[in-house]
A and B are shown apart, each in its own frame.
Chain A
Amino acid sequence: MIAIVDYGAGNIKSLQIALTTLSIESTLTRDETVIRDSNAIILPGVGAFQDAMHQLRSDNLDKILQEQAAAGKPILGICLGMQLFYETSNEGGLSTGLGLIKGKIERINANVKVPHMGWNTLQIRRNKHITTNIPDQTYVYFVHSYYATDIDNDDLIATSQHGENIPALVQHNNIIGMQFHPEKSGDVGMQLIKNFWEMVS
């Protein structure tokens, strides 16, 4: 069972539907026991970094996530959910993230349209289980204005080009981050979610 962390983050319906389609059981929860008993965790997210961190802290979910990450449980962060894994963000002033992966979140500052909205290609830097059946230059769906920078190059699985080299898919041991929305990326996104679930068992 996958625990989808409930901290009031926007639209998680599509994610739940994608998991159901793949016959993966999931529960939307903020209950510590349920999260600890799960096989894997997904941190979804749409919205602002500071609000999200504030909400996680007020429910003590930051501590649970850090504890579960250290225990080696597979954790997937999607979009803002992934950004929360990093050390800091300067969205709305400098603030601290969960610190599960090295790096910081900054606004896309290049001379391109922001938000980075639409289908963009993945440049796969290294193949891991999460990239199974995902060819290089595959299109996935992005909607974001901030991106991760100063990350550890060893964590980089795939990038996407939008003014900057955007870390699109990252992995640090049991921690996986997707800047795009796999639940909105057609069959390719479904394959990525399936690959994540296969890391669990």
Chain B
Amino acid sequence: MLAKRIIPCLDVDKGRVVKGKKFQDIQDIADPVELALRYNHEGADELVFYDITASHEERKTFLDIVEKVAATINIPFTVGGGIRSVEDIYQALQSGADKVSINSAAITNPTLIETAASKFGSQCIVLSIDAKEINTGKWNVFQNGGRIDTGLDAIEWALEGERLGAGELVINSIDVDGVKKGYNLQLTKTIANAVYIPIVASGGAGIMEDFYQVLHSDIADAALAASVFHYNTISIPALKNYLVEKSVPVRSVPSCQLY
């Protein structure tokens, strides 16, 4: 049976993993390669690395980290942040990333998804959507960390992303991100019911129950979180044991070195 995935997200700034509530009070947490290896051993199913500065000068530093991560871990990982062109995607994949997450650039240039999917395959093109509720049951796609309303309907944009060839969607709820009150179940479920591709829920994880809520039914295929893992509020092995007890299918990791 296909397991529900637990995905730690590492925001990287100037070569370090950082955490800030939407670009404020950014705190230095750890070395990205060390943290990636720790999560790999603890049983994370995938990792996401997000280049939060995405400035031209820092790009090289970030890609160097991606290469080091690829040489260190043996689980899949996605790279996001600052992906604007086919060339950016190519560089990320060449550096060892398995998937590339596209957000803002797809809004300004939707053909990027189409071109990238036909060139590299849908399996490595992830469309990341920042959504915010503007009326009850109506979500719009936002840009720049939730500051700009693009006017696009989040459900329609998800469908368009699927049609253009994205192989997976990350649904990040701006309303709940960083406040640890749980994933946005209604938004995630609405999009999951509309599309056929896998859905990663993002934003709002605070306690283990939050993971259960979004993973136990057919709402999300994976749950992404950052600070609860970085600060050890929730340990991945404990979370997986908890989910197994609640009958959510998750991957168990062999306890000893096999080879």
Shortest beta-carbon distance from B153 to chain A in Å? 22
Residue contact B93 to A10, C-beta cutoff 8 Å: yes
Chain A residues lying within 8 Å of B122, measured Cβ to Cβ, are: 115, 145
Query: Considering the chains assembled together, what is the distance between the CA atoms of A190 and B259 in angstroms?
Result: 7
Question: In the complex, are the beta carbons of A143 and B96 less than 8 A apart?
Answer: no
Contact with A along B160-191 (1 / 0, CB 8 A): 00000001100000000000000000000000
**Interface assignment of B76: CB less than 8 Å from any CB of chain A:** yes
A11 contacts B258, CB within 8 Å? no
Within 8 Å of chain B (Cβ to Cβ): is A34? no
Shortest C-beta distance, B98 to chain A (Å), equals: 7
* A residues less than 8 Å from B97 (CB atoms): 11
B 124-140 to A, binary, CB cutoff 8 A, 1 in contact else 0: 10000000000000000
A121: CB under 8 A from chain B? yes
| A176-201 residues at the B interface, CB under 8 angstroms | 181, 183-191, 194
Complex alpha-carbon distance, A138 and B5, angstroms: 15
| Docked pose: A128 CA to B75 CA in angstroms | 25
Interface size of B by Cβ–Cβ distance < 8 Å? 35
Contact with A along B241-254 (1 / 0, CB 8 A): 00000000001111
Tell me which residues across on chain B come within 8 A of A184, comparing CB atoms: 74-76, 98
User: Shortest distance in angstroms between A105's beta carbon and chain B's nearest beta carbon?
Assistant: 15
- A183, B74: Cβ atoms closer than 8 Å: yes
What is the minimal beta-carbon distance from B193 to any residue of chain A, in angstroms? 12
For residue B110, CB closer than 8 A to chain A, the reply is no
**B1 at the A/B interface (Cβ < 8 Å)?**
yes
- B259, A187: Cβ atoms closer than 8 Å: yes
Q: Is the CB of A11 within 8 A of B93?
A: yes
Within 93-117 of B, Cβ neighbours of A (below 8 Å) are at 93-94, 96-98
Asked if A113 contacts B3 (CB within 8 A), the reply is no
Highest count of chain A CB atoms <10 Å: which of B5, B76, B197, B253 = B76
Nearest Cβ in chain A — how far from B170, in angstroms? 13
A14 near B3: Cβ-Cβ < 8 Å: no
Chain B residues with CB under 8 Å of A129's CB are none
Cβ contact within 8 Å between A141 and B76: yes
When distances are taken between beta carbons in the complex, the residues of chain A under 8 Å from B124 are 10-11, 46
Closest B-chain residue to A194, C-beta based? B259
CA–CA, A17 to B97, complex, Å?
Answer: 13
Q: Are B98 and A144 in contact (CB under 8 A)?
A: no
Are B221's CB and A113's CB within 8 A? Answer: yes
> How far does the alpha carbon of A17 sit from the alpha carbon of B68 in the complex, in Å?
11
If A113-B198, A185-B74 touch, whether A14 touches B98 (CB-CB below 8 Å) is yes
Per-position contact with B for A140-169: 1 when CB-CB < 8 Å, else 0? 010111000000000000000110000000
Known contacts: A10-B121, A13-B70, A190-B258. The answer to whether A118 contacts B1 by CB under 8 A is no
Q: Does A70 contact B (CB under 8 A)?
A: no
The answer to whether residues A119 and B45 also contact, given A13-B96, A46-B121, A46-B123 and a CB cut-off of 8 A, is yes
CB within 8 Å of B: which A93-131 residues: 113-121
Q: Which residues of chain B come closer than 8 Å to A188, judged between CB atoms?
A: 254, 258
Complex CA gap A181/B40 in Å reads: 16
Instruction: Determine the residue in chain B with the shortest Cβ distance to A80.
Output: B121
In the complex the two chains form, is A161's CB within 8 Å of B1's CB? yes
Quick check: A17 and B71 within 8 Å, CB to CB? yes
Among B1, B97, B252, B257, find the residue whose CB has the most chain A CB atoms closer than 10 A. B1
Distance, CA A184 to CA B70, complexed state (A) = 10
Q: Hey, which chain A residues are within 8 Å of B123, CB to CB? A: 46, 115, 117, 143-145
Q: How far is the CB of B158 from chain A (nearest CB, A)?
A: 14
Which residue of B1, B93, B198 contacts A117 across the interface (Cβ within 8 Å)? B198
Partner of A119, one of B5, B70, B98, B259: B5
Interface: B148 (CB within 8 A): no
Q: Which residue on chain B has the smallest CB distance to residue A11?
A: B93
Q: Is the CB of B75 within 8 A of A117?
A: no
- Per the bound structure, the CA–CA distance linking A10 and B124 in Å amounts to 10
- Using CB atoms and an 8 Å cutoff, list the residues of chain B in contact with chain A: 1-3, 5, 40, 45, 70-71, 74-76, 93-94, 96-98, 120-124, 167-168, 196-198, 221-222, 251-254, 257-259
What are 18 A-to-B residue pairs whose CB atoms are below 8 Å? Answer: A10-B121, A11-B93, A11-B96, A46-B123, A48-B121, A113-B197, A115-B122, A115-B167, A115-B198, A117-B123, A118-B5, A118-B222, A120-B3, A143-B98, A183-B74, A184-B76, A187-B258, A194-B259
